[in-house]
């Protein structure tokens, strides 16, 4: 029950676009732990707009198809969402490098693609166990293509 409420809070929360993102946009979440979802809402990667078990919820999110690309958790949302995902190198930027692979473009072009097409939402979750459970639940619900799907 708590996961359902947390997911509703996450999806109804403020959205951010990478186009206008600067660390100062996230000042209110600096060093704040939480869970986040990076997504696209257009047809820019049609092969990633897959049907999920949450599809009816997702279609209504912004009046468009909502395609979760990555779900994550962090003890520092500002650093993770800006420095790692947008500016980071391969291991710390799974969305940027996943887009690069899927669209067969350079990481620099993928960064520009993220600025034009990707958005994210986050939810502050201070308890580490709740963050882990919520992240796992969201990955199971959304099946985002850039999360690791098999154990090593």
pLDDT digits over 14-43, tens only? 887 877 777 676 666 667 899 999 988 665
pLDDT of residue 141: 84
Q: Which of these, 148, 111, 136, 152, lies nearest to 6 by C-alpha position?
A: 136
Residue range 120-126: mean pLDDT, rounded? 90
Q: Could you tell me if residue 133 is inside a domain?
A: yes
Q: At what angle do helices 128-142 and 2-12 cross, to 10 degrees?
A: 70
Q: Rounded to two decimals, what is the model's pTM?
A: 0.81
Collapse the DSSP code of 104 into the 3-class scheme (helix H, G, I; strand E, B; otherwise coil) and give the result: coil
Joined tokens for residue 3 = 């996961």
Domain assignment present for residue 47? The answer is yes
Specify if 149 maps to a domain.
no
- Report how many domains make up the chain: 1
Residue 69: which H helix or E strand, with range? strand 67-74
Tokens of 88: 């980071």
Residue 147 within any structural domain of the chain: no
Q: What is the average pLDDT score of the chain? A: 77
Averaged over 86-108, what is the pLDDT?
A: 82
Task: Return the closest-CA partner of residue 36 out of 114, 150, 147.
Answer: 147
Q: The domain containing residue 90 runs over which residues? A: 2-142
pLDDT of residue 150: 53
Query: Residue 152 falls within a domain, yes or no?
Result: no
Q: What is the pLDDT of residues 58-83, one digit of tens each?
A: 544 555 567 888 999 999 888 888 77
What pLDDT score was predicted for residue 142? 84
Please report whether residue 88 resides in a domain.
yes
The verdict on residue 148 lying in a domain is no
Indicate whether 151 belongs to any domain: no
């Amino acid at each position: 029950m708590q996961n359902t409420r947390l997911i509703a809070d996450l999806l109804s929360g403020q959205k951010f676009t990478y186009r206008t993102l600067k660390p100062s946009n996230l000042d209110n979440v600096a060093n704040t732990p939480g869970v986040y979802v990076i997504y696209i809402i257009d047809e820019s990667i049609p092969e990633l707009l897959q049907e999920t078990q949450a599809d009816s919820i997702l279609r209504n999110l912004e009046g468009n198809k909502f395609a979760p690309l990555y779900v994550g958790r962090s003890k520092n949302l500002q650093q993770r969402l800006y420095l790692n995902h947008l500016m980071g190198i391969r291991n710390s930027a799974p969305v940027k490098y996943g887009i690069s692979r899927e669209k067969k473009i350079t990481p620099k072009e993928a960064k520009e693609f993220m600025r034009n097409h990707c958005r994210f939402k986050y939810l502050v979750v201070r308890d580490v166990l709740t963050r882990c459970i919520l992240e796992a639940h969201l990955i199971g619900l959304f099946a985002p293509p850039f999360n690791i799907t098999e154990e090593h």
